[in-house]
Chain A
């Protein structure tokens, strides 16, 4: 029999593919995923459209719905990634994770595969919202859409990895819900997704600009509104890399 040390690519691929297969075999999850996006899409397209027009640049204004779109994409990505992280706790309880942990699989592959799997689901779910572009009065360039998708991919990956890092240490879904309420929800509220950061009080502005999700949302918004912030796009890559590094560190601890 030929047995060799499993390589990182194969292990990552297997862990990633399993995450997607599990998602597709749970109709409730993908119906909820599409349903949530569709609901936000309808609300943006009708209810809130043209309600407000906060500034996005010194010489430019866009409708509130257009300004809100990247924030909603962040919201969907964050919560989709969080729910994917819950499967970590389920796997620990079912024993599948234990079987993987006693095998020669590199821990980095577990962290990367799970982050990519959860991130892919979050990316698709949030990406559906881009179909609302014509409804909110935006006319981004093709490159702008591609850059938005790229920043969204980094955001989804980062949130999925961060969710994994916290879920790994949680013994139950209930304890992970506290993490969700105390960390992820405030992160989203302080990311400039729903309230413009510039008008906030000084201390809140400082906190918001220390929030990695702010950088990711800004990267998406700037790309979508036609003036890509390359610095923020670069930082969103760094956020994703740092989150995966954190997840790997947590997963590697025995």
Chain B
């Protein structure tokens, strides 16, 4: 299934959009090693929008970001970034955060930011002013003269985010920005990202395979094997599959029917209308322990793609 975004606009209206993609295809390898990373994808991201690309490893998230940042030439299709086709991409108008922190561990935070800001085309004096402001916002003013190697993963990530925004890009691309962070640092990073989003009219596109991260965005695009399987706000997507889901944490449970039931590890899940749903009452009468809860984006992914989203944090009772 290839779901089109509900707010897709024609090409001639693309000027006000941050990212405009039509029939984008990316193929790696040849012959038996041929693999389709992106399969005729259509996507429109508006200015000021915070979009999460959610999908398992190999679903095409990083490929999409690599194309949008000009690192990869697509096999076919059309891509416009901030109203410009890829051939005329204004690299100074985008900011990119990679899975690994793009700062030199042997240089200080200030040296890193100063070098990279000037490489983005900022005047030296203006760069220093911007760095002071950015470090203050990121709570790193005290660490400006420290080498990056001495920072914790969370602080280095904040510094990296500050680096990517020094030149005030209109589009911020983040490829799994919380990789390697502990849960607290991850939460702090997402809070910081939320502040960044609220502070300006820039579009943010963030790839992740974690549903709790994707749920922080305004809009979620679910990718599976290079195709868009769902598109909408986290709430709308969760509501789409039903008011509640029931979960049974028994590996040897045998579902009453094939329809609607999915299994991840030891957990069986099925959408239900609520705690009084006949299925729930029937299972309870059989003495089966179960929980009825709000669906998550992982449930949506499973319903839409027929596959389980392989998350780091397995759900538990």
Contact = CB atoms under 8 A, between A and B. Distances in A.
Interface of A: 1-6, 10-11, 14, 18, 21-22, 25-26, 91, 93-96, 98-105, 254
B115 A14 contact: yes
A99 B71 contact: no
Contacts of A93: 100
B251 to A, nearest CB: 40
B103 interface: yes
B91 A18 contact: no
Contacts, number: 90
Given A96-B104, A99-B102, A101-B71, A6 B121 contact: yes
Q: Which 3 A-B pairs have the closest CB atoms?
A: A99-B102, A95-B102, A95-B100
Contact of B119 (A1, A11, A254): A11
B129 to A, nearest CB: 10
A99 B116 contact: yes
A94 B164 CA distance: 15
B123 interface: yes
B9 to A, nearest CB: 26
Contact of B100 (A6, A26, A94, A105): A94
B92 A103 contact: yes
A102 B91 contact: yes
Contacts of A10: 118
Nearest to A18: B115
A99 B118 contact: no
Contact of A6 (B71, B118, B164): B118
Contact of A95 (B72, B98, B115, B118): B98
Contacts of A104: 90-92, 119-121
B163 A99 contact: yes
Contact of A2 (B102, B104, B122): B122
A96 B106 contact: no
Number of chain B interface residues as a range: 35 or more
12 contacts: A1-B122, A2-B122, A3-B92, A3-B167, A5-B121, A14-B119, A25-B106, A95-B103, A98-B71, A102-B70, A103-B92, A103-B116
A3 B71 contact: no
Prevailing SS type, chain B contact patch = loop
A1 B103 CA distance: 23
A94 B105 CA distance: 9
Interface of B: 69-73, 90-92, 94, 96, 98-107, 111, 115-116, 118-123, 126, 130, 163-164, 167-168
A111 to B, nearest CB: 14
B7 to A, nearest CB: 27
Contact of B123 (A2, A100, A101, A102): A2
B126 A2 contact: yes
A254 B96 CA distance: 17
B101 A95 contact: yes
Contacts of B167: 1, 3
Residue among A2, A4, A102, A254 with most chain B CB within 10 A: A102
Given A103-B92, A254-B71, A98 B119 contact: no
A102 B71 contact: yes
B120 A103 contact: yes
Contacts of A6: 118-121
Nearest to B164: A99
A194 to B, nearest CB: 35
Residue among A10, A93, A103 with most chain B CB within 10 A: A103
B104 A22 contact: yes
Contacts of B116: 99-100, 103
B121 A100 contact: no
A91 B106 CA distance: 11
Nearest to A99: B102
